[in-house]
Chain A
Amino acid sequence: MSMTMTQKILSRHAKKESCAPGDLILASLDLLLGNDITTPPAIDIFEKSGFDRVFDNEKIALVPDHFAPNKDIKSAAQCKRMREFARKQNIKYYYEQGQEGMGVEHVILPDNGLVKPGDLIIGADSHTCTYGALGAFSTGVGSTDLACAMASGQTWFKVPEAIRVNLTGKLPRYVAGKDVILYLIGRIGVDGALYRSLEFTGEGVKELFMADRLTICNMAIECGAKNGIFPVDEITLSYLSEKIPGGYQSAPEWLFPDEDAVYEKTVDIDLSSIRPMVAFPHLPSNTKEIGSFPKIEIDQVVIGSCTNGRIEDMRKAASILSGRKVKEGIRAIILPGSQRVYKQCLKEGLLEVFVDSGCVVSAPTCGPCLGGYMGVLAEGEKCVSTTNRNFVGRMGHKGSEVYLTGVEVAAASSVLGYIADPALLEKEGEA
């Protein structure tokens, strides 16, 4: 029976020859993830249920990144609970704040070499779908799912139908993975891929760097998708050979989709036609092209997160901010996504650029993205953010507004004080 990449990974992990959309399967997991918000309830459930030991202490990653470094006493208690559980269970991939390899969960797991093509991964965080960029099946679940999977090493799935996203062309200047995924969400809607897998294909794939693919898969959940997944190519292999201890040669042969795999529909996207995108409040699907709306003055800019906190993002921000100043009255907050990204910024002189231009540079944390801390908004404030959600109250007061963009638009907006096309700065320079 012909299958998509997602269906192949699911059937393989359920020890079945094949599977079809709608099948309910019990599958073995390669990696489980939890953070400081979702893990404490999972530990409560794990312990109250009488589970004693985790199924495999080398297949669980626990990352205190959301309200950490601890933002208040209750958050400190949640992190403490997680830390003590990790010690008791001897969890190999528990990442302590500040230590090597630590950072925002979806930035560090691929970077630390914990994700391989063909893997089946669940995480108690909705943006776990990020790892599809490396040809893995990964999806978000809740704390009860995490608790039971920590005990059994398995979880159930309903095999999804697939939507094929056929990419052609090359990205124009100032357009990146973030604009591609915002464009797609704007086109199909916040439930446009509900329960389905998004499978990216086409000659345009090779035009996307790994950072772009990670950003695209990261936001697959924002159109309701169960997962997003890219094929494995030279770009993937070169990334993996750097990240995986001992190197990485080639993806498993069984992973590639069958030529006659069935897709519910195909969405064609010509990358060269995409402009920098802005998702207006209060839905990620409420997208407009830059330049297509009147001037919107802003109060704050946030650059970072699991969506756009990688070194490539930091370099883009610095290229815009270098030699320029954040406009008076605007707060610009930059969050390198991990200790490694932070150190690389330091080596390349990017931190100096950020500080000289008038930015706050924060330790790696999810903090502001979900209105936790390190950049919470007051009533009536407007923020341009490279994060992933702009729901009512997402970054603070319910009367605040979040505009989602890519890194270059966010950086240019911090300089100009309104939601701006980075190309405007070039013209300014010439004048």
Chain B
Amino acid sequence: MKIEGKVIKYGANVDTDVIIPARYLNTSDKMELASHCMEDLDPDFKSKVEEGAIIVAGPNFGCGSSREHAPVAIKASGIACVIAPSFARIFYRNSINTGLAILECEEAYEKISDGDRITVDFDTGEIKDLTTGIVFHAGAFPEFISEIIRADGLVGYTRAKQNKK
């Protein structure tokens, strides 16, 4: 699968408290969460995010809380993919489990600028900056993670395992 979108760029250590502040965690409604996504970090996020936009950010993206509401809010905002040199581990799990596409690529963070248009090929891990023409390669998922993704998330994977028993 290949996607194309406009880049919204952030720095290092984007934490779950700015992705979705805890004061809004008295609901798990996706669209309500999306309406507050990133508001403490970037008040213009809502106006910038067009359907299919891609976040490119610095290391340790998603650090902090275990709230799954964070990847859920990002995905429901219309973000198609997040690219960063590294992700906090609970955020990484939660993204795989809830179907938010994430890719690890340090060079992409260094060279892609805010507002660039890029394409991402999830099958090959190729990221292409259409604005500059530069091509990057993200690390591939381990086979086990790919299996979860193919099962449409952890729920599908767990059900398939239980049905085998």
Q: B-contacting residues of A (Cβ < 8 Å)?
A: 24, 37-38, 40-41, 44-45, 49-50, 66-67, 71-72, 74-75, 78, 123-126, 128, 140-145, 147-148, 151-152, 156, 158, 190-191, 194-195, 221, 224, 226, 283, 370-372, 376, 389, 391-394, 398
Contact = CB atoms under 8 A, between A and B. Distances in A.
B155 A144 contact: yes
Contacts of A49: 155, 158-159
B31 interface: no
A377 to B, nearest CB: 11
13 contacts: A49-B155, A126-B66, A152-B162, A156-B144, A190-B60, A191-B88, A194-B88, A226-B89, A370-B22, A370-B65, A389-B17, A391-B17, A394-B22
Given A143-B68, A152-B161, A191-B63, A126 B28 contact: no
Contact of A372 (B23, B65, B90): B23
Contacts of B86: 191, 194
A144 B152 CA distance: 12
Interface stretch (B46-54, B92-100, B109-117): B92-100
B5 interface: no
A74 B32 CA distance: 13
Interface of B: 13, 15, 17-18, 21-23, 25-28, 40-41, 59-60, 63-69, 86, 88-90, 93-94, 97-98, 142, 144, 153-155, 157-159, 161-162
A152 B155 CA distance: 11
A124 B65 CA distance: 9
A392 B18 contact: yes
A24 B144 contact: yes
A410 to B, nearest CB: 21
B94 A142 contact: yes
A398 B40 contact: yes
Nearest to B157: A148
- For the complex of A and B, the 9 pairs showing the least CB-CB separation, nearest first, are A142-B68, A142-B94, A74-B26, A370-B22, A144-B97, A191-B60, A398-B40, A393-B40, A391-B17
Contact of B22 (A123, A141, A372): A372
Given A145-B97, A392-B17, A72 B63 contact: no
A40 B68 CA distance: 11
Contacts of B27: 74
Contacts of B94: 141-142, 144-145
A398 B136 CA distance: 35
Nearest to A46: B155
A85 B59 CA distance: 38
Nearest to A67: B26
Given A74-B27, A391-B18, A392-B41, A152 B158 contact: yes
Contact of A124 (B21, B59, B66): B66
Contacts of B157: 148
B67 A38 contact: yes
Contact of B59 (A41, A191, A283, A389): A191
Contacts of A144: 68, 94, 97-98, 153-155
Nearest to A160: B89
Given A72-B26, A126-B66, A394-B22, 12 more contacts: A50-B159, A140-B90, A142-B67, A142-B98, A144-B94, A145-B154, A147-B155, A190-B60, A221-B90, A224-B89, A376-B23, A393-B21
Contacts of B154: 144-145, 148
Given A74-B27, A194-B88, A389 B64 contact: yes
Nearest to B159: A49
A28 to B, nearest CB: 13
Contacts of A389: 15, 17, 64-65
Contacts of A123: 66
Contacts of B89: 194-195, 224, 226
A398 B66 CA distance: 20
Which of B28, B86, B94 has most chain A Cβ within 10 Å?
A: B28
Contact of A75 (B13, B26, B98, B158): B26
Contacts of A74: 26-27
Contacts of B67: 37-38, 142
A123 B155 CA distance: 17
A226 B161 CA distance: 26
Which of B13, B26, B86 has most chain A Cβ within 10 Å?
A: B26
Contacts of A140: 66, 90
A221 B65 CA distance: 9
B26 A393 contact: no
Nearest to B85: A191
A202 to B, nearest CB: 26
Given A38-B67, A194-B86, A148 B142 contact: no
A76 to B, nearest CB: 9
A224 B158 contact: no
Contacts of A78: 26
B111 to A, nearest CB: 21
Contacts of B69: 41
Contacts of B23: 371-372, 376
A126 B64 contact: yes
A190 B68 contact: no
A49 B152 CA distance: 12
